[in-house]
Amino acid sequence: MAMAPLLFLFQILFSFPVVQSLFATSLSPNPLTVSVTDFGAVGDGVRYDTGAIQAAINSCPEGHRCRVKFPAPGRYLTATVFLKSGVALDVAAGATVVGGARQEDYPADPARWYVVVAENATEVGVGGGGVVDGQAEKFVVRKDPRKNVMVSWNKTGACLGDECRPRLIVRSNNISINDVSIYGDFNIPNNDGIDIEDSNNTVITRCHIDTGDDAICPKSSTGPVYNLTATNCWIRTKSCAIKLGSASWFDFKHFVFDNITIVDSHRGLGFQIRDGGNASDIVFSNMNISTRYYDPSWWGRAEPIYVTTCPRDSTSKEGSISNILFINISANSENGIFLSGSEKGLLRNLRFINVDLTYKRITNDTGELFDYRPGCQDLVKHRTAGMMMENIEGLEVKNVKMTWSKNGHVNQWNNPLEFRPSTVNNISFLNFHSGLVKGKWENGHKQREEQLLCASLPSMTFSIQNIVIESSGKCDLVALFGVSNKLATLNQCVTLLLHLLCLQHRI
């Protein structure tokens, strides 16, 4: 019998992780059931029920599946409790498990600073339709319009990144996360939704994630991450909705993300490969994405899709990204797609099929920054393009449309396609369209029907079919394409493309 949906209030790091465990919700139809109230829990939200909860868990016999119930109504205040194999917490609708706000409520080891921990356990889970509340506001030292400042329990006087980050799944196998809602304070940094670290065979479905930092975030710190599927989810975040990395010492492989809605986020789909690992064989399909600018102290620049490799620092290796498919994607964004490999960490075989991009500036941000963080070049002043590309070996663009919306500050944009002065080879464009919404533009800007193709075109291999570039009919290569008059560096195919576009704007 499936357990009812559960609500998590992941407002800060102290919520629900699973450490070195096998997380499962498919318990037997008739497990043994015990209630925390039978062991003395009062559920008044004032007195601690830690002892009663742990006693109920410990009462479950070894080798049997056991459900520990939290009856409603009730607010069960607790310090860290530890699950053991075969035990699932059943938090009834109307009941809340409340994490304590004192340092002594949590173990000395920061890796265990959570309300519920399962270590070296199998067949464990949490469900039931209730709430797990980490009491975020109790850990905010100072409100800040950009990012709240958090309490620190270390000697530095500041809450460092990994110290503050909730890790839901760590070194685990065969995990199901279904019908879970996660609400995190939108102004708390490192306030991730679902982190899947060094874990394999994970399924996430029908989840609602609304949090300050990355929403679904696989990480590979001590081992690879394989076979992750996420479907039918709704996400809002001030960081990246779905991000691989930036902890990326090992490989990511065989991921599927399907039918996911991303709204008002700082970045949509992201890869931050920084530590020598490789990401491959990953599919993003049937996505609706809406991104916007937030304060630049948060990683992200409103990119709907962001794919990057580079070494984190001088001691880091360069990883790679290959065989990535983006299909049936619709996006409304303040910024363009950002594809940036590194010299020894190329992006290989990226495919964009049936992608509809609408670009419009809705905030006061001028968008004149590239964001390479962490590591790399950090923030770089540069006007953004519809799609920026560098260090790529193999790119297919098929049935892709870019539209710049009126009242969208079109004059602040660079060209639709920008090839940075790096190695970019084996590119195929089939049915690519770039144009503006017709009509007058705000602030008396000149109506720009002509669209630029690229800021610079290094020598590359092109396959071109059915490209449509809306134009006023003027054949000014410098104005239209943003290239110098020196075409000697362009190979014959690209030179032919330029001439044909000037003659008829269509191939």
- At 498, list the tokens: 């330029």
CB burial of 312-350 (b: ≥16 within 10 Å; e: otherwise) equals beeeeebbbbbebbbbbbbbbbbbbbbbbbbeebbbbbb
Strand pairing report for 225-237 and 208-211: parallel
Helix (H, G, I), strand (E, B) or coil at 460: coil
Q: Show pLDDT as tens, one digit a residue, over the chain (507 residues).
A: 333 444 544 332 223 333 333 334 444 557 899 999 999 999 999 999 999 999 999 999 998 899 999 999 999 999 999 999 999 999 999 999 999 999 899 888 877 888 999 999 999 999 999 999 988 778 777 777 777 766 666 554 444 555 556 678 899 999 999 999 999 888 888 889 999 999 999 999 999 999 999 999 999 999 999 999 999 999 999 999 999 999 999 999 999 999 999 999 999 999 999 999 999 999 999 999 999 999 888 899 999 999 999 999 989 999 999 999 999 999 999 999 999 999 889 999 999 999 999 999 888 887 788 899 998 888 888 888 899 999 999 999 999 999 887 665 677 777 788 877 667 788 888 888 877 664 444 443 443 433 333 333 333 444 544 444 443 333 333 333 333 333 323 333 343 344 344 333 333
- At 227, list the tokens: 């076979």
Contact indicator for 393, 426 with CB cutoff of 8 Å: yes
Rg (Cα) of the chain, in Å, rounded?
Answer: 25
Closest CA to 188 of 238, 222, 224, 255: 238
In whole angstroms, what is the distance from residue 346 CA to residue 343 CA? 6
Which residue(s) pair with 372 in the sheet? none
First-last CA distance in the chain: 59
In whole angstroms, what is the distance from residue 413 CA to residue 38 CA? 65
Neighbours of 486 (CB within 10 A): 7
The CA dihedral of 336, 342, 346, 347, to the nearest 10 degrees, is: -20
All domains of the chain, ordered by start, with CATH? 1-189 (2.160.20)
- DSSP letter (8 states) at residue 506: B
Report which residue type is found at 12: I
Please tell me the pTM assigned to this model: 0.84
